[in-house]
């Protein structure tokens, strides 16, 4: 998957109509980031698509920054 593209489309379960506001939740975004994908192509209409660079999601990441990790102590 590293360097790959995810194609995303949403459809109404009852009507089958395309959902123009399809997107990924924060947990799914994390999975996409961790998979090493480069971009997500989201279908908005039959002829319109948005291309989202995954780097944009990394920049918008809402996970807290815990700062640098400390080296483990050598004492028991």
pLDDT (tens digit per residue) in 4-62: 999 999 999 999 999 998 888 888 999 999 999 999 999 999 999 999 999 998 888 76
The sign of the dihedral angle between the CA atoms of 29, 35, 39, 44 is negative
pTM assigned to the model = 0.72
Q: What is the pLDDT of residue 76?
A: 64
Contact, 35 vs 1, CB < 8 A?
A: yes
Rounded distance between C-alpha atoms, residue 18 and residue 44, angstroms: 7
Q: What is the pLDDT of residue 68?
A: 76
H/E element, 42: strand 39-43
Rounded distance between C-alpha atoms, residue 2 and residue 37, angstroms: 5
């Amino acid at each position: 998957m590293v360097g790959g593209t995810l194609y995303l489309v949403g459809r109404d379960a009852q009507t089958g109509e395309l959902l123009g506001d399809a997107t990924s939740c924060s947990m799914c975004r994390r999975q996409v980031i961790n998979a090493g994908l480069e971009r997500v192509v989201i279908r908005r209409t039959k002829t319109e698509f948005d291309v989202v660079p995954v780097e944009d999601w990394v920049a918008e990441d809402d996970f807290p920054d815990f700062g640098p990790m400390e080296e483990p102590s050598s004492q028991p």
